[in-house]
Amino acid sequence: MGNEKQIDSGRRNLIVATGAAGGVVGLATAGALVSTFQPSERAKAAGAPVEVDIAALNPGEMVTVEWRGKPVWVLKRTPEMVASLKKTDGKVADAESKRNPDEYTPEYARNEWRSRKPEILVAVGICTHLGCSPSSKFQPGPQPSLPDDWEGGFLCPCHGSTFDMAGRVFKNKPAPDNLQVPRYMFLSDTKLVIGKDEKGEA
């Protein structure tokens, strides 16, 4: 009789110890799983709106900033660059940005300039074909891989898609859509924020 009690007591202690250890491991695992569902600081920062100061940007110059891991171009167009858009209206595939407007062009950029101000272009520098980054080819005139009547714009080196100074894709090119214009707004004449507008964050 006394022996049985000792064995039961030993088993009970073993079961309690095992259960406690299992509970600790279970809690640690659950804690690790929960932490993986929470975005990291880097992930939060990657999606946050980005402020850009364009006070030092001269006409004809472009700055590239990163937003959500993508290059975003802010180009201060010259009067000649803005004027070239009238010449390319008939050569681009979607002059009025009607294709996939909700994905590629906010309402305030559905105009010839694809921007809030004629002289400022804000566009995601990723070709809508297969995701390459186009090169700036602002100099008008004949050049390798470009037509003789080139007015200036962007050339995708991967498959030859060309875009005008508003990021509008030319006809008969692999890219199906114009370059994306992210949501943005001006905070002042010289500062803008990308990834946010009057309707909130993108």
Annotated catalytic sites, by residue? 159
Transcribe the chain into DSSP letters: -HHHHHHHHHHHHHHHHHHHHHHHHHHHHHHHHHHHHSPPHHHHHHHS-EEEE-TTPPTT-EEEEEETTEEEEEEE--HHHHHHHHHHTTTBS-TT--SSHHHH--GGG-STTSSSBTTEEEEE-S-TTTS--PEEE-S-S--TTS-TT--SEEE-TTT--EE-TTSPBBTTSS--SPPPPPPEEESSSSEEEESEETTEE-
User: Using CA atoms, how far apart are residues 27 and 96, in angstroms rounded to an integer?
Assistant: 57
